[in-house]
């Protein structure tokens, strides 16, 4: 028989002898939602974030940095601690300049990936069901499959069946959704539109957060391939972000080697993981 010691407490979290109060970790844990089936995740994530923050603050003071808060938006200013950490990052985390050549090679390897928005003319019949309602979703799928069987026998009945069965307000227009652009619908719906032939009806119900859809694609105008000069700023921004994350991870590992940290593990975590409670 195993007897659990309910008086056991997590190892104290300290940075160079400074203890992070359990109460502060508990408050910070509210900013770190725990994945299902992972008890203790929020506590560990909060403890790590606060230990990182304490490490950065100690390092900023060791560098003699004086806080110079900036205005984040109208009427909202950084706290002194936020300013210290930002200024520390600006001084010590320096990603390498972005080389345009690899970005050009990435573009040239698959220019088809870089297109402007596509346009669609489509209609649908929605069988609504909430994501958490397993029984409702099973019933909606069954009803969608039954209506789809009718459409496969006679596609001309789409508007009639939309008016009879659809849970969307578009039922009043025979299910017509008008002109849609990329990003106007949920990803599952748009993925179905992109995979369908024009003048066709989806060959199976399309599941989304709203339930199940029977989709008719009337027309599609695919977006044009964007020139490299248009795509370059977005590729550069993505590369700069990735480089900053790599540089910040290396910086955190360098600090972890110099600081005496107990109760948490910084390995593999970027500096940007630090969050401030509001």
| Contacts of 145-154 spanning 24+ positions with Cβ under 8 A | 145/204, 145/205, 147/214, 148/201, 148/202, 148/204, 148/205, 148/214, 151/201, 151/214, 152/201
What is the rounded radius of gyration, in angstroms, for the C-alpha atoms of the chain?
A: 27
Is pLDDT above 90 for 1?
no
Side-chain half-sphere exposure of 147, counting CA atoms within 13 A? 28
Give the model's confidence band at 9: pLDDT under 50 very low, under 70 low, under 90 confident, else very high: low
Q: For 251, left (φ over 0), alpha (ψ -120 to 50), or beta?
A: alpha
Q: Which of 56-60, 157-161, 220-224 has the lowest mean pLDDT?
A: 220-224
Domain ranges of the chain: 14-95+243-272, 119-221
Is pLDDT above 80 for 6?
no
* Predicted pLDDT at 268: 63
Q: Which of 32-46, 88-102, 263-277 has the lowest mean pLDDT?
A: 263-277
Which residue bears the tokens 């069954």?
142
Taking the C-alpha atoms of residue 83 and residue 67, their distance in angstroms, rounded to an integer, is 5
* Predicted pLDDT at 8: 42
Is pLDDT above 70 for 270?
no
Is pLDDT above 90 for 185?
yes
* Predicted pLDDT at 274: 59
Q: What is the pLDDT of residues 190-209, one digit of tens each?
A: 999 999 999 999 999 999 99
Taking the C-alpha atoms of residue 108 and residue 105, their distance in angstroms, rounded to an integer, is 5
Taking the C-alpha atoms of residue 181 and residue 194, their distance in angstroms, rounded to an integer, is 11
Share of the chain above pLDDT 70, in %: 92
* Predicted pLDDT at 269: 67
Task: Report helix, strand or coil for 152.
Answer: helix
* Predicted pLDDT at 5: 38
Q: Residue 3 burial by CB count (10 A; 0-12/13-18/19+): exposed, middle or buried?
A: exposed
Q: How far is CA 188 from the centre of its chain?
A: 16
Give the model's confidence band at 3: pLDDT under 50 very low, under 70 low, under 90 confident, else very high: very low
Share of the chain above pLDDT 90, in %: 78
Taking the C-alpha atoms of residue 95 and residue 270, their distance in angstroms, rounded to an integer, is 13
Residue 102 or residue 269, greater confidence: 102
Taking the C-alpha atoms of residue 216 and residue 156, their distance in angstroms, rounded to an integer, is 11
Residue 116 or residue 166, greater confidence: 166
Query: Which token pair is 44?
Result: 């560990």
Please, which residues have CB within 8 angstroms of residue 79's CB and are 6 or more apart in sequence? 69, 276
pLDDT (average), residues 25-34: 89
pLDDT (average), residues 110-133: 94
Distance spanning both ends of the chain, measured CA to CA: 45
pLDDT (average), residues 112-129: 94
Taking the C-alpha atoms of residue 212 and residue 143, their distance in angstroms, rounded to an integer, is 9
Is there a contact between 219 and 118 (Cβ–Cβ < 8 Å)?
no
Which numeric CATH code is attached to 119-221?
Answer: 3.10.50.40
């Amino acid at each position: 028989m195993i007897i659990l010691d309910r008086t056991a407490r997590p190892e104290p979290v300290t940075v160079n002898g400074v203890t992070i109060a359990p109460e502060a970790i508990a408050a910070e844990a509210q900013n770190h939602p725990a994945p299902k089936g992972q008890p203790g995740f929020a506590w560990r994530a909060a403890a790590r974030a606060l230990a990182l923050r304490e490490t950065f603050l100690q390092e900023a003071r060791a560098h003699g940095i004086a806080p110079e808060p900036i205005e984040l938006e109208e009427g909202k200013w950084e706290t002194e601690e936020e300013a210290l950490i930002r200024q520390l990052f600006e001084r010590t985390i320096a990603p390498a300049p972005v080389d345009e050549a690899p970005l050009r090679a990435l573009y040239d390897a698959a220019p088809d990936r870089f297109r402007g928005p596509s346009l669609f003319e489509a209609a649908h019949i929605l069988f609504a069901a909430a994501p958490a309602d397993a029984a409702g979703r099973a019933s909606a799928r069954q009803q969608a499959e039954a209506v789809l069987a009718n459409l496969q026998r006679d596609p001309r009945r789409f508007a009639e069946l939309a008016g009879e069965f659809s849970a969307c307000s578009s039922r009043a227009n025979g299910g017509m959704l008008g002109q849609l652009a990329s990003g106007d619908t949920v990803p599952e719906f748009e993925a179905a539109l992109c995979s369908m032939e024009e003048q066709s009806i989806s060959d199976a119900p399309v599941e989304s957060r709203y339930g199940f859809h029977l989709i008719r694609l009337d027309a599609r105008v695919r977006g044009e391939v964007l020139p490299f000069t248009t795509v370059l700023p977005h590729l550069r921004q993505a590369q700069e972000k990735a480089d900053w994350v790599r540089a910040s991870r290396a910086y955190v590992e360098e600090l972890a080697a110099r600081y005496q940290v107990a109760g948490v593990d910084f390995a593999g975590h970027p500096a940007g993981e630090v969050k401030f409670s509001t």
